Homo-oligomer: A and B are copies of this chain.
């Protein structure tokens, strides 16, 4: 059999990863079995292992594509919304309130898995950094209106992006394990509660 071209090798890897993601959507991350993925992909065990050296590596690949999909969607949304976004608007767009986003469950499971899989940890770190950069870019115009120099604006945007990320992670955990908070109310309550200068 002739060697697959590089692009069809890549396509095959994505086909396998997609099968894995369909399993994850159905039975959860940790509970997804190689036998599930084998059945869902329609390939054989050996074939899958000729494309991925291990289940862990497959999971990393699939996780990475989950992150990338979210980040790309967000980047596009921010670009379309124009440049005058406040942090609160950014938060609202990152945390869609309508549908029961099954992706949140998967995110929490990936975070947990990354704590015992250093290589997956790197995938997570990389993507947290990218998401942070996306947020930072989106709020930089806002930061510029509150500071006097470009440098100060960059610092504020950077640090604020980190804080928003932390709040967003809390929202995701809360949405996954319990009730999904209302973003505007959450924000209002926190501001009322925490600002000790009032």
Contacts and interface: CB of A to CB of B under 8 A. Distances in A.
B87 A194 contact: yes
A32 B31 CA distance: 15
28 contacts: A28-B116, A29-B112, A30-B112, A30-B113, A87-B193, A88-B194, A88-B196, A108-B108, A109-B112, A109-B116, A112-B113, A114-B177, A121-B177, A125-B177, A128-B177, A139-B193, A160-B192, A160-B193, A162-B181, A162-B189, A163-B189, A164-B190, A165-B174, A166-B186, A168-B170, A172-B173, A173-B173, A191-B195
8 shortest interchain CB distances as A-B pairs: A170-B170, A112-B112, A28-B116, A163-B189, A87-B193, A169-B173, A169-B170, A166-B170
Contacts of A165: 174
Given A105-B115, A146-B192, 14 more contacts: A28-B116, A29-B112, A30-B112, A87-B194, A108-B111, A108-B115, A112-B113, A125-B178, A162-B181, A163-B190, A163-B193, A164-B193, A167-B190, A191-B195
